[in-house]
Structure 1
Amino acid sequence: MLATVVPSLVLFTENEKLRLFKLFFLVFLIGTTTYLKAQTATITGVVFDENQTPLPNVNITSGNKGTFSDINGFYILEIIADQETTITFSHLGSERLLLKDLILNTNENYEFNPVLQQKAILIAEVVVTPSGTRYAEGVTTISSDIARNIPGSNAGVENILKLLPSVSSNNELSTQYMVRGGNYDENLVYVNDIEIYRPFLVRSGQQEGLSFINSDMVENLQFSAGGFQAKYGDKLSSVLDITYKTPVAFGLKIYATLLGTAATVEGVSKNKKLYSITSIRSRDNSLLVNSSNTKSNYDPSFFDIQQYTTYIFSPKFRISYLGNLSINNYRNTPFTRQTNFGTLNDIKTLTVYYAGSEKSQFRTNLNALKAEYRLNDKTTFKLISSLYFNREQEYSDVISQYQLSELNSNIGDDNWGEPTPINGLATQYDRARNDLDAKIVNLEHKGTYSNDGKVIAWGLKYEHTNIRDQIRESEFIDSLGYMVRPPNSEFQRNEPEISFEAPLIPFQGIIAKNAVNTNKVSGFVQYSRQTEWHGHNLYYNLGARATYWVVRGKNLAKSTHTIFSPRAQLSIKPNWEKDMLFRLSGGVYQQPPFYRELRDNKGTVHPEVEAQKSYQLVLGNQYSFKLWQRPFTLIGETYWKKLTNVNPYTLEDVRLRYAAQNNAKAYAYGAEFRLSGAFVPGTESWFSLGYLKTKENINGQGYISRPTDQRLNFGILFQDYMPEVPNIKMYLNLVYNTGLPGGSPSYEDPYLYQNRLRDYKRADLGISYIFVGANNSYDENTFLRLFKELNVGFEIFNLFNNQNSITNTWVRDLTNEQQFAVPNFMTGRILNIKIEMRF
């Protein structure tokens, strides 16, 4: 995935060749002079804590030279060669470690991986570091091991986010999530400072394959559900900040289940300058999709390859590369569907027979380079560039004949349970020919300056987006022998009394072709400080973002926009006997429209659409304590959002369709609690509870529930093991969410349809046996000596076989013109087998 471009000398004249030769000679001479001036050696490695977890922000010094370990615990320090040197490792909350009387030869690279012992200090104390503290910033940090081991039909980072009180999702086939009343488009995702984008045309969870985030490559995971700092981008809801790990040695991991396979290889060059990790994954969701109530021939093929490489030129300068290629092929040939719905006294059945098929392809490619230069211990510069290319095709031709029936619910009747048709056999024809190409180019500079607990951070980013989109969708309804036309004023619904002789018109139809370019420049600056106030630890952050963008396109009028967003965070840890931390954050959060937000439900692009604006206020408390002589943390937050310039949308499965108008206002408020700790010694589990209310007012008609108005969210992550056989591990996650609004039929006023879907209830269980692990011993004469890790297990998805639904299908009874909301049920109970090995 890496490519090196070397310009050919044939392209240069003789004079130019001579000048190039002189330049190279000068560079060589300077390098040689530098070498003669100071003979040096390099010490490098990874700093660990007592739990063998990489420790960031450790101060490593030697005389007047020094550095800090990065977020992966990695450090590199250049020292004077051929003389005795003492290296000091210090970190607040850990015992200081000295490496004395070290003598390295000239140009020698010495690897040293120290383990710092913890001091007896308060639990979750606010840690003073050059970049602030994650506790004070209100960021949730989750162990990467939990993200890798948690069971779920879409296991990984997003799966564990759904167990947080601020996050909800009613679709186990999708990796997308909603945060505090926001939709799927309102979440920022970064991997090693590089912004990640999602496909545009995906309409159902079963079309999704693999999440971009590869949990086998993750080292650190931080998540903010609101009130985040100005250094993050312009989105309304949340930030997921992922750091991929820097390898410390060669390793190979192989993972296989009934749903897919993965292989990850990592390594370090002999001179400790090149670090690389590469992972290949494939996935097949047939096992999941075939458990739904629609019988089909489902043939998916999801594949991706991802690489993260770092080359260290010197202790001050390094370059990193992140590359990803993802190919998702989705083929589905539905056969039949039978869905029972209604109440015990009024049971109805929808029976559907299908002909035709769906075929979609989503191909994405990301290439990103990041150069990092540490001028000194106080100042760091970063230059980040990325190119994201996405090609999507969505083709389908599906004919469905359906019939509504009523089941005889009279138990004493001879015909009990027999269906009685409500209407005749109706026919629906759906056709789609959608093509979209997207190219997104980014160039960004970031910098930080830190000194004595004060940090100044800044950034400037240019983003160019080019979208070429052709959408052609149509839906025809044929019932009782005639075609049903749209209920528009120009069409009189008088069939079959008066025949309709005009050309056939789809009940719903979109035909559009768009070419849109967006150029956006954004920047931020923020100031942070860690200090003391009357004996209390105090942290605050003040910052602001500004964004300017221009929208152009074929047959579109040029449109320019500017926004300004101030933000602030304040945290205080009182000098109390109880270990408590209080946080207050808020500001203005604005989201410039992306392409999907500019396109209305007819396919027309509106470049004049403004950024949606949210005024946010978040108040939080973190209380750390000991229970049963084990550490626990209780985190509570309340939040309030006022939204203006709202762009209303409809939600169908995972597809969002916007009105492309800023004709609404909205609000959201709620409260959340999460209790985490070692309920079982040596493990981490948590219980979370969240309450949310969000409503919108469209065109002054009054407030109604937004499509994401999920009032109650309850989640449990529980880890356990057998005391007699500790190698048997158990992971259990449970989710309970109250129902989302069920939406409204086509052409109908959403104010008239405020019914809700049934509550979402799901439990996933995973049990594994660890043959080889960090705490296991084995006979050196057995084949187990070949493995560093080996575990085998099974998972049960949807343990209690609950029938959950994500959306409704609206079926028309044309005899009396009634419409019925038929729930689309998700997956049933499934058994999955897995094996994981690392060499």
Structure 2
Amino acid sequence: MKTFTLFFLLLITLTLSAQTATIKGIVKNTDKKPIEGVSISYLNNGTTSNKNGEYQLNVPANFEVSILFSHISYKSLQKKINIPKNKTFRFSPTLSIKIEEISEVIVEDYTKDAEGIIKINTADISKIPGANQGVENILMTLPGVNNNNELSTQYNVRGGNFDENLVYVNGIEVYRPFLVRAGQQEGLSFVNGNMVQNVKFSAGGFQAKYGDKLSSVLDITYRVPQNYGVTLNTSLLGGSLTLEGISPSKKLSALIGIRYRNNSLFINSKDIQTNTNPNFTDVQAYLTYVINPKLKIDFLGNYSLNNYNYTPKTRRTKFGTIAEPLELIVYYNGQEKDKFKTSFGALKAGYSVNDNLNLSLTSSTYHTIEDEYYDILASYNIGEVNNDFASENFGEVEFSEGIGSQLNHARNSIDALIINTEFKANFKKNNHQIDFGIKYQNEDIRDQIKEWEIIDSVGFSVRPPDETVNNQPYEPFSGNLTPYKSIDTKNNVKIDRLVWFVQYSKNKNWNNHKIWYNIGLRSHNWNVNGEGLNTSNQIIYSLRGQFAIKPDWEKDMLFRFSGGMYNQPPFYKDLRDFNGNINTTVATQKSLQVVVGNDYSFNIWNRPFKLVSEVYYKNLSNVNTYTVDNVKIRYRANNNAEAYATGVDLRLNGEFVPGTESWVSIGFLKTEENYNNQGYIARPTDQRFKFGMLFQDYVPNIPNIKMYLNLVFNSGLPGGSPSYTNSFDYQNRLNAYKRADIGISYVFADNNNQHKTRWLKNVKEFALGFEIFNMFDVQNSITNTWVRDVYSKRFYGIPNYMTPRVLNIKMDLKF
């Protein structure tokens, strides 16, 4: 099948390559002198003029195309042509010198690079293939950003965990659900990719204005509509509808997004046979009203409802080795019903006092109600598989090594309300900038955890690992029957926070070298109280700074130095230990960080490229250790550890193919922790090596056929050990995570290809294509299911495989 597909695409390419024509000539200026380095392009295909101003370009025959001649020092020129098949059209344009003031643009771009911010092209958000398409899908291809669960939008950065990342939408911090324990339960990310205007990301060393987390910042800006438009995206996984418009008075603009997703295509393709209907829906609205040129009001609202109904039937998983193959066969009874309902609203008033001073006041409310109910009985059998190729029973289970059952029960619910008000001021004058902000936040969390697990092996109850050792079945055990795991708690916790920051930035010239620096101070005071809890009040300060220099060298290089104190005061999840009990005295986790970076911009094949290199080191104290099970994090709720993280991140991006941006990322990381002075061991996020590639291409003679390739390789994580075991006793690693997703589409219309006739004349963008997720069908696992056989005293770790190869068909349409 693969050979036939490749042959078919090659045949089409060769057939259409003959249906071309040629345009060539000499590009000159008004003085009749040839111009070197002029870009001559149509759609995503193009060439450049040589030192004599000569160029030659193949174009589709018998088809009207628009050729663009552009150069940084000259005014652009556009020429529409329609050339017969196998003919050559000579065209020698004259370009006029372009005179314009660009100093402000240079300062803006330089400052952005100096801050160590990665800016992501928003046009790629809906095009890059991935099981969870969106902004986070692109982040996974960046160095230092990892996640081995393609059904999750969560990510860890440079040795941190999922809870250590800041996410802002239009300057408002957003939160994730509390009870989600598996990626397949998550559904939709808060960020709606069709509403995004700007995406900025920092993997460390960020400014004081960004907040109190240890790892990263994702800063999203939604766009303000300038005209009417409708965007429709549909696929086998669901769809989205985005409406935008502006009032006749130009004062009120509205951007509304509706999304629906169903993960059945992925879940029903796994080795567990189920009846499941996981569906996720959300509605977002961004409204802007301009009262007068100085005052405007913004509203951002979101409502999401995630239903996860799961009824497993059977499971058959082969594991072991070629010499000793085993198979786990499980029969299930029961079901799981989860519901995650979230509402969010924020009102922001922005006032421009003058050209130098801007003020804003924002008030937001986040409310989530989450229910997790399940009763699932699993009866399992572990058997030896016949590995004799000559046998009629090859691949069948011949001998059972372990028989048992497992019963899981939960009635968990959480009701969380977070309200805050924030004032910010921004003052700019000449090359100076001062930012100030103060925020008050109240968190009201009402949580109930009632879950237990009973394990039976060949008729003997398996007791908790920390209880008295028994020698069943060789010796009788007279103790009470207790579940393997049992939690029954109710918590009502309230947290008040007062946060402020102030920072100063400046850019200047020093002996023709460009310099930018920033220094900032943050303060975070919080108070924890609740029913039956001791009140705790704490305060911390964070001092941070950044420095960048762009030398006046022939080579375009920029050097960055950043770091300081990065603290993370405890959120509700950090206060809750393995047994669901609240420890109000949990202190802030502290980190001293240093990041040294270099940006090197250069040209290869007369096309722009950029190499970004960063070396970082984090020294962490007061560490609140945790375990990770799929995407659920459980904290010890103490500060009895110290840790460190160090590594190197490299990213090369540029036009590997003319007119497109692709990149390759490589990351090396080592992070370890020392709990209670027992010695350093790998942290749960110790992902030593990461390789990511995002590659875009098109068929040269049919540029409307686009291809997007997303490759990720992550070395194995520590983990897969039984729950509640001593991590110092289990330091095995899971297998490496390998994944390749590809998307191919045909673009009928876009900004460079507009139609004036037929039904496409009213269409701004229209593309139809398909995606293959995990196209090499690699069996990746993120956790192990541990099954115990009391009789043989053996534990079996059966891998829980992620999604296999899946085909998806999609359509993108914009009016």
What TM-score do you get using the length of structure 2 for normalisation?
0.86
| Kept in 1: contact 2:403–2:789 (CA 8 A) | no
| 2:637 match: secondary structure | coil
| Kept in 2: contact 1:479–1:814 (CA 8 A) | yes
Residues in 1 aligned to 2:809 and 2:742: alpha-carbon distance in whole angstroms:
12
- Alignment of 1:824 with 2:800, yes or no, is yes
- Alignment of 1:641 with 2:641, yes or no, is no
- Alignment of 1:529 with 2:479, yes or no, is no
Provide the residue aligned with 2:692 in structure 1.
715
- Alignment of 1:568 with 2:568, yes or no, is no
Provide the residue aligned with 1:786 in structure 2.
762
- Alignment of 1:805 with 2:805, yes or no, is no
Query: What is the CA-CA distance between 1:544 and the residue it aligns to?
Result: 1.0
Question: CA 1:629 to 1:424, structure 2 compared with 1: closer, same or farther past 3 Å?
Answer: closer
Q: Pick one of 186, 198, 201 that aligns with 1:223.
A: 201
Task: Name the amino acid aligned to 1:835.
Answer: M
| 2:113 match: secondary structure | coil
Task: Name the amino acid aligned to 1:737.
Answer: N
Provide the residue aligned with 2:426 in structure 1.
448
Residues in 2 aligned to 1:470 and 1:778: alpha-carbon distance in whole angstroms:
59
In the TM superposition, what are the counterparts of 1:285-296 in structure 2 within 5 Å?
285-296=263-274
Q: Pick one of 103, 106, 117 that aligns with 1:127.
A: 106
Question: CA 1:126 to 1:279, structure 2 compared with 1: closer, same or farther past 3 Å?
Answer: closer
**Cα deviation 1:658-706 (Å, max 9, x = unaligned):** 0001011111000011110011111100011000010111111111111
In the TM superposition, what are the counterparts of 1:73-92 in structure 2 within 5 Å?
none
Question: CA 1:125 to 1:138, structure 2 compared with 1: closer, same or farther past 3 Å?
Answer: farther
Provide the residue aligned with 1:361 in structure 2.
339
Question: CA 1:125 to 1:380, structure 2 compared with 1: closer, same or farther past 3 Å?
Answer: closer
| 1:774 match: secondary structure | coil
| Kept in 1: contact 2:773–2:805 (CA 8 A) | yes
Provide the residue aligned with 1:301 in structure 2.
279
Query: What is the CA-CA distance between 1:496 and the residue it aligns to?
Result: 7.1
Q: Pick one of 173, 183, 186 that aligns with 1:205.
A: 183
What's the RMSD between the two structures over aligned residues? 2.2
| 2:177 match: secondary structure | coil
Question: CA 1:657 to 1:535, structure 2 compared with 1: closer, same or farther past 3 Å?
Answer: same
| 1:556 match: secondary structure | coil
| Kept in 2: contact 1:673–1:690 (CA 8 A) | yes
| Kept in 1: contact 2:470–2:477 (CA 8 A) | no
| Kept in 2: contact 1:461–1:522 (CA 8 A) | yes
Residues in 2 aligned to 1:294 and 1:453: alpha-carbon distance in whole angstroms:
61
Question: CA 1:119 to 1:735, structure 2 compared with 1: closer, same or farther past 3 Å?
Answer: farther
In the TM superposition, what are the counterparts of 1:487-636 in structure 2 within 5 Å?
487-489=465-467, 492=470, 494=472, 497-498=475-476, 500=478, 502=480, 504-636=481-613
Query: What is the CA-CA distance between 1:477 and the residue it aligns to?
Result: 1.1
| Kept in 1: contact 2:473–2:791 (CA 8 A) | no
- Alignment of 1:136 with 2:117, yes or no, is no
**Cα deviation 1:168-218 (Å, max 9, x = unaligned):** 010010000010000000000000000000000000001011100000000
Query: What is the CA-CA distance between 1:132 and the residue it aligns to?
Result: 8.0
In the TM superposition, what are the counterparts of 1:727-746 in structure 2 within 5 Å?
727-746=704-723
- Give 5+ residue unaligned stretches, structure 2: 1-39, 42-71, 76-96
In the TM superposition, what are the counterparts of 1:256-271 in structure 2 within 5 Å?
256-271=234-249
Task: Name the amino acid aligned to 1:480.
Answer: V
| 1:727 match: secondary structure | strand
| Kept in 1: contact 2:179–2:370 (CA 8 A) | yes
Query: What is the CA-CA distance between 1:418 and the residue it aligns to?
Result: 3.5
**Cα deviation 1:733-785 (Å, max 9, x = unaligned):** 100110111242134221111111111111111111111211114351x1222
Query: What is the CA-CA distance between 1:422 and the residue it aligns to?
Result: 4.4
| Kept in 2: contact 1:665–1:698 (CA 8 A) | yes
In the TM superposition, what are the counterparts of 1:616-765 in structure 2 within 5 Å?
616-765=593-742
Provide the residue aligned with 1:342 in structure 2.
320
Provide the residue aligned with 1:7 in structure 2.
none
Task: Name the amino acid aligned to 2:483.
Answer: P
Residues in 1 aligned to 2:660 and 2:771: alpha-carbon distance in whole angstroms:
19
- Alignment of 1:388 with 2:405, yes or no, is no
Residues in 1 aligned to 2:209 and 2:194: alpha-carbon distance in whole angstroms:
27
| Kept in 2: contact 1:132–1:530 (CA 8 A) | no
Residues in 2 aligned to 1:750 and 1:655: alpha-carbon distance in whole angstroms:
17
Moved more, 343-352 or 440-449: 343-352
Residues in 2 aligned to 1:543 and 1:438: alpha-carbon distance in whole angstroms:
32
| Kept in 1: contact 2:471–2:477 (CA 8 A) | no
Question: CA 1:693 to 1:121, structure 2 compared with 1: closer, same or farther past 3 Å?
Answer: farther
Residues in 1 aligned to 2:549 and 2:690: alpha-carbon distance in whole angstroms:
29
Residues in 2 aligned to 1:689 and 1:174: alpha-carbon distance in whole angstroms:
22
Query: What is the CA-CA distance between 1:410 and the residue it aligns to?
Result: 4.6
Moved more, 212-221 or 340-349: 340-349
Question: CA 1:488 to 1:800, structure 2 compared with 1: closer, same or farther past 3 Å?
Answer: closer
Q: Pick one of 222, 229, 233 that aligns with 1:255.
A: 233
Query: What is the CA-CA distance between 1:487 and the residue it aligns to?
Result: 3.5
Task: Name the amino acid aligned to 1:128.
Answer: V
Query: What is the CA-CA distance between 1:489 and the residue it aligns to?
Result: 3.9
Moved more, 640-649 or 735-744: 735-744
Moved more, 330-339 or 473-482: 473-482
Task: Name the amino acid aligned to 1:330.
Answer: Y
| 1:160 match: secondary structure | helix
**Cα deviation 1:228-275 (Å, max 9, x = unaligned):** 000011000000000000111000111100001110000011111111
Provide the residue aligned with 2:165 in structure 1.
187
- Alignment of 1:479 with 2:457, yes or no, is yes
Task: Name the amino acid aligned to 2:730.
Answer: Y
Moved more, 808-817 or 236-245: 808-817
Identity among equivalent positions (%) equals 53
Question: CA 1:512 to 1:493, structure 2 compared with 1: closer, same or farther past 3 Å?
Answer: farther
Question: CA 1:428 to 1:176, structure 2 compared with 1: closer, same or farther past 3 Å?
Answer: same
Provide the residue aligned with 2:375 in structure 1.
397
| Kept in 2: contact 1:743–1:750 (CA 8 A) | no
Task: Name the amino acid aligned to 1:340.
Answer: K
Q: Pick one of 303, 308, 311 that aligns with 2:289.
A: 311
Provide the residue aligned with 1:33 in structure 2.
none
Task: Name the amino acid aligned to 2:300.
Answer: L
Provide the residue aligned with 2:65 in structure 1.
none
Provide the residue aligned with 1:371 in structure 2.
349
Residues in 1 aligned to 2:342 and 2:793: alpha-carbon distance in whole angstroms:
44
Residues in 1 aligned to 2:669 and 2:479: alpha-carbon distance in whole angstroms:
52
| Kept in 2: contact 1:403–1:421 (CA 8 A) | no
Question: CA 1:327 to 1:95, structure 2 compared with 1: closer, same or farther past 3 Å?
Answer: farther
Moved more, 700-709 or 812-821: 812-821
| Kept in 1: contact 2:749–2:765 (CA 8 A) | yes
**Cα deviation 1:622-656 (Å, max 9, x = unaligned):** 00111111111010001000000000101000000
Query: What is the CA-CA distance between 1:127 and the residue it aligns to?
Result: 3.1
Residues in 2 aligned to 1:823 and 1:121: alpha-carbon distance in whole angstroms:
61
Query: What is the CA-CA distance between 1:412 and the residue it aligns to?
Result: 5.8
- Give 5+ residue unaligned stretches, structure 1: 1-49, 52-92, 97-116
What TM-score do you get using the length of structure 1 for normalisation?
0.84
**Cα deviation 1:787-815 (Å, max 9, x = unaligned):** 12111111110011110111111111211
Residues in 2 aligned to 1:817 and 1:398: alpha-carbon distance in whole angstroms:
25
Query: What is the CA-CA distance between 1:464 and the residue it aligns to?
Result: 0.5
Residues in 1 aligned to 2:736 and 2:612: alpha-carbon distance in whole angstroms:
26
Provide the residue aligned with 2:300 in structure 1.
322
Query: What is the CA-CA distance between 1:330 and the residue it aligns to?
Result: 0.4
| 2:129 match: secondary structure | coil
